[in-house]
Amino acid sequence: MSTTVEYLKQADDASIEIDRDVTDAVRDILSGVRDRGDDALFEFTERFDGVEVDDFRVSDDEIEAAAAELTAAETEAIENTIENVRAFHEEQREHIEGFEKEFEEGVRLGQRIVPVESAGTYVPGGRHPLVAAPAMSIVPAEVAGVDRIVTCAPPQDDGGIQPAQLYAMDRAGADEIYRIGGAQAIGAMAYGTETVPEVAKITGPGNVFTTEAKRQVFGHVGIDFLAGPTEVLILTDETADPELVATDLLAQAEHDPNSRPILVSTDQRIAEEAVDDLYEQLPDLRTEDVARECWEENGEVIVAETLDDAVAVANDYAIEHLQVMIDEPRSIVDDLTNYGSLFLGDHSPVVFGDKAVGTNHSLPTLEVARYSGGIWVGTYLKTLTHQEATEEGAARVAPLAAKICELEGTHAHQLSAEARLRPDVGPDYGQRE
C-alpha cells in the first residue's frame, strides 16, 4: 500500500550508533572499574562529576535528611506516583503465570516464573534530575520479587543525591543506594567492587556513556534495552487543538537538544497553526534554549493525505511516545503496532505517563519499539521450563529423539535417548549387577 505524505519540516535520521570516541572511553572506564574497583570509582567520580566522596553508599541518615527537606505536598506527589506505578505493575504480575500440563500420557511439561536474584537500577541526573524515574525501574523489580535492588545515581556538586530523587529511591524500594554516575556506575554494578555488589541485571536510562556501558557489559549481566534521547509523535486530524499540540511537543523538546518532537497531521491547517503556536509559546518557557534548539534541529512536521497514511507513518517511526489527538482515538488502536507507550485523546498527555498515572516511562527509542517494549514487571522475571517423563512416557519419546540424534550425528545424545528403552533403567541405574 502506498503512503501519501508531505514533509513541512524534516530532520536528519536518528541513529542509535555511538561514536567511536565514546565507545573507547567507556571501554577504558569499565576496564578500570573491573581491575581496580573502588579506587577507580573514586578517581572517575572526581574526574567526571567534579566531587570527592568518602563513601559511595548513601546512609539512612542522609535518606532521612532528604525527606526532611521536602514539603508535605512534595512527598505526597512522589508517594502518589510510586503507588500508581506499583498498582499497575502488580496488575501486570497477576497476568504472568506458570503452568504444568500433561501434553501426552506420561510426559508433563511446564514453566515457572522466577525473579532475577539481584537488579541494578540506574537513575540519571543530568539537566533535570527526574523524580519519577526511580519508581519506573525500582518498583517493577520489587513487585517481581527481586531479592536485592541496588540503585546508582550521579552525585551533585555537594556530593549528595538530589533530595526528591533520593526520597523516591528509598520509598520505591531500593535496598542499597550509591552516589555513582555514568559508565562507572554501570561497571560497578556489572562487575562488583569492594563497596558495590555485582548484580544479575541492569536497567534504567542514561546518557550516551551510560547507554554504551550497558551495551558493553551485556552478556556478563542482562540489561533492559538501549535507548537514546526521548521522542514523541503526535498524530492529529482536523479536530485537534493546535495550541495543545504545540504545548505537548514542547514538553518533550525541553528534555534535551537531541530529543525528537514529531507532528503528523491529516490536516495541513492544524499542522501549520500548531507550529505557529509552538513559536509563540517558546519565549515563555524557562527551558526555551533547549526546547528551541531541539525543535530547530530535530522537530518534524508531516502532513498525511489520509488517516491510514498517518498510521503508516507512525508505525514506521516506531516512536517512544505516541500521542493520538483525533476525533475517535480508539478507532485506530488496533492499527498501531510500533510504539513504546500510547496516549489516547486530548486529556492523556505524555507527561501523565512520564510522571504520575502508573504506566512505565522507561521506554524504547530510535525504532527499538519495532521489536521490544519498555521496562515492565517481566523485565525482572525469568521464564524457566521443566519436564518430567514416566517410564511409559519415555518409551514413546525416546525412539523419536534418538532418530533426530541419528540424523544430526549426535551419537552420545542418541545413546542417552536409547538408554531409556532398556528394561533395567530405574532409580539405581548403573549400580545393578
Residues 264, 347 within the same domain: yes
pLDDT score of 126: 67
| DSSP bridge pairs for 203 | 121
Out of 224, 255, 279, pick the residue that ends a domain. Answer: 224
pLDDT at 127: 66
| 128: in domain | yes
Tell me: do 206 and 279 sit in the same domain: no
| pLDDT of residue 426 exceeding 80 | no
Phi, psi of 309 (to 5 degrees): -65, -40
Q: Residues 89, 142, 255, 321: which is the catalytic one?
A: 321
Residues 292 and 352 in one domain: yes
| Same domain membership, residue 187 and residue 47 | yes
Contact 158, 394 (CB under 8 A): no
**Per annotation, catalytic residue among 142, 231, 300, 320:** 320
271 in any annotated domain: yes
pLDDT digits (tens, 9 = 90+) for 63-88: 999 999 999 999 999 999 999 999 99
Are 328 and 411 within one domain?
A: no
* Over residues 254-279, mean pLDDT: 96
User: Annotated catalytic, 321?
Assistant: yes
Q: Which domain holds residue 283?
A: 5-15+229-373
Domain total of the chain: 3
Q: Is the pTM of this model over 0.75?
A: yes
Q: How confident is the model at residue 188 (pLDDT cuts 50, 70, 90)?
A: very high
Indicate if 236 and 180 belong to the same structural domain.
Answer: no
**C-alpha closest to that of 252 among 296, 210, 314, 295:** 295
Domain endpoint, select from 224, 251, 282: 224
> Are 185 and 315 found together in one domain?
no
